[in-house]
Amino acid sequence: MSWDGKERRLHRRYGVKGSVVRWRPGPPIGWVSPASSPHILIDLSSDGCHFISKVQLRPGKRMSLSIEAPHVDGAARAAGSVAWSRRSEEHDAWHTGIAMKPRTGVSAVRLKTVLDGAVLDHIEITTRHYLKEMGKL
């Protein structure tokens, strides 16, 4: 499905410099699966995020998320599902959009703290930065 130009987001998204997201499969096997390697978080809102993944994640896939930011103690945990996934034009990777909800009140507070610390509307990821973050440089 290609984008029709209509904005569907309910909340404004923000970039949080230095933030990453890790995911694991949702129920029923998620609690026994190891977390993924860290993925660069492109943007974040109270009900969704966008990150770069080395593999395509199919829309509808349920997952548990752990969002880490430099200025926040502990990770914000959320339950989510893949809303969309598209191949990057610049990188050997996939841009992935997630619809999510914080798992607990503590996670909601941590997520709000991450969003309160956001200073950018969007993070531009250069190829050099992406390769450095992925440990290939």
Q: How far is CA 106 from CA 77, 112, 116, in A?
A: 9, 10, 15
Domain total in the chain: 1
Is the pLDDT reported for residue 78 higher than 80?
yes
With respect to residue 106, please indicate whether it lies within any of the assigned structural domains: yes
- Asked whether residue 11 is domain-assigned, the answer is no
Does the pLDDT of residue 102 top 90, yes or no? no
Confirm whether 124 is domain-assigned: yes
Residue 13 lies in a domain: no
Query: In this predicted model, which residue has the larger pLDDT, 133 or 19?
Result: 19
Look at residue 6 and tell me if it is in a domain. no
- Residue identified by tokens 């992406």 is 130
The whole-model pTM stands at 0.75
Residue 15 covered by a domain: no
> What CATH number does the domain containing 55 carry?
2.40.10.220
**Dihedral angle of Cα 31, 130, 86, 2, to the nearest 10 degrees:** 140
Q: How confident is the model at residue 22 (pLDDT cuts 50, 70, 90)?
A: very high
Please check the confidence at residue 41 and state whether its pLDDT lies above 60. yes
Amino acid letter for position 83: A
| pLDDT given for residue 4 in this prediction | 55
Neighbours of 133 (CB within 10 A): 16
Q: Would 1 be classed as within a structural domain? A: no
Helix (H) or strand (E) run with residue 108 in it: helix 105-116
Question: Residue 42's pLDDT is what?
Answer: 85
Mean pLDDT computed over every residue of the chain: 79
For residue 86, the enclosing domain spans 20-133
Distance from C-alpha of 116 to C-alpha of 114, rounded to nearest angstrom: 6
Q: How many residues does the chain have?
A: 137
**44-55 average pLDDT score:** 88
